[in-house]
Amino acid sequence: NSGANTLRAPLRFGVLGAATISENAIVRPCFKSPHEAVIKALAARDRVRAQQYVERYKLKECEVFDGYQSMLDKADIDAVYIPSPNGLHYEWTMKALRAGLHVLCEKPFASNSEEARAMVDLARQRGLVLMEAAHWFYHPLRERLQAIVAGGRLGALRHVYANFTFPGKPGEPREAKRGPSAIRYDGRLAGGCMMDAGWYALHCVRALLGGEAPEVEWAEAQRWPHDPEIDEGMRAGLAFRKAGASATILCSYCSGAPDGFAPRTAPGTSSPSGQARGGPKHPLGPMRWDAEVTGAKAVMHAVNFGVPHA
C-alpha cells in the first residue's frame, strides 16, 4: 500500500561487519525498497575495509564506525543486521538487544540451544524483535511444498529426506580455504558443514513435518582431518514422534569425493556426485539442494528447494 508507506519512516539498519553475504541479504533489499529499510551505519574491525564497502555499494547515507561496540553506542539506528561468523552471533546479538535495538541475525541463529534460548529470552524481556535471517522461511517453494502436504495428496507422511551438498575437495588444509570459506573450518567460530549447509536440510524436514524438535536416532560425521572437531559432512536419522514419521538429512562439503557423503539421485538431477540441473554456483562448488517426501499415497521430489528466488 503506497499510502501506508508514506506514513511510516523506513527502518534504519546498522550492519555489524563488512561480510560478503550482506550484499544479497540486506544491501540489495534496501535498494529495492528504500521506503521500508535503509542502511545508516556500518561497523568493521578494519575501518578501511568498512569504507571500501560503503563506497562499493554507494551507501550514501551510511556512517562508518571503527568497531562493533562503537556503532551500537553511537549510531542513530533502529535495528542491526549481524552477518558475522557463527561463533559471534550470540555475543553481538545480546549486546545489540541490551542497547535497545532490534536484531536480524544470520543463520545459524546461535552456536547451541543454550545461547539461542538466552537470546530469545532477552528479546522478549526487552520487547524487541529478534529474527533469524533465513530466506527459506519465506521461500515460495517452501509454501508450495507445505500446501501439497497439508492438502493430503501424499497421504500420511512416512519419511522426509533432505540434502544440501557441495562437490568440493575433501581434507584440504585450512590454508587452502580463502575468503568467506575459511570461517567454515574454524571451530572457535562454530564452523563445520552441519552448522552451515546442514541448517537447510534440517529446517526443510522440520517445516514439512510440523515444526517439532526431532529426536536424533543416529548421526555420522565426516571429520575434517586437520581438526577432528570440524565436520566436512554429516548425515543423521531423525524421529518426529508427534508427526509419526522419520527423516534423514545429509550435508557435505565434498560429496563428489569417493569417500564423501553423496546425495541421492532424484528425478531431474545429474549423478549423485554432481549438481542438480541449473544448480546455483558457490565458492565451494555447485550447490545441490534436494528433498524427497514419502507419503502413504505418493512420493514428492523437490530439486534445488532452497535456491533464492529473487
- Structure confidence by residue, pLDDT tens digits, 103-154: 999 999 999 999 999 999 999 999 999 999 988 888 899 999 999 999 999 9
Tally of CB atoms within 10 A around 295: 19
**Residue 143 CA: distances (Å) to CA of 58, 65, 92, 298:** 35, 39, 32, 19
Tally of CB atoms within 10 A around 129: 14
Overall pTM surpassing 0.75 (yes/no): yes
Q: Domains of the chain by range and CATH?
A: 11-133 (3.40.50.720), 140-261+282-303 (3.30.360.10)
Cα three-residue angle 282-283-289, rounded to 5 degrees: 35
Element containing residue 303 per DSSP (H, E): strand 299-303
d(Cα 116, Cα 126) in Å, to the nearest integer? 16
Specify the higher pLDDT residue, 271 or 66: 66
Indicate whether 214 pLDDT > 70: yes
Q: Which of 52-56, 102-106, 164-168, 269-273 has the highest mean pLDDT?
A: 102-106
pLDDT in tens, 31-64: 999 999 999 999 988 888 889 999 999 998 899 9
pLDDT at 306: 78
Q: Which residues lie closer than 8 Å to 53 by C-beta, 6 or more apart? A: 18, 42, 44, 59
d(Cα 125, Cα 204) in Å, to the nearest integer? 30
pLDDT at 45: 85
Q: Left if phi > 0, otherwise alpha if psi is -120 to 50, otherwise beta: which for 244?
A: left
CA torsion 129-139-84-232 (nearest 10°) is: 140
d(Cα 66, Cα 81) in Å, to the nearest integer? 16
**Is 74 among the residues known to form the active site?**
no
Q: Of 40, 60, 74, 107, which residue is the catalytic one?
A: 107
Q: Left if phi > 0, otherwise alpha if psi is -120 to 50, otherwise beta: which for 218?
A: beta
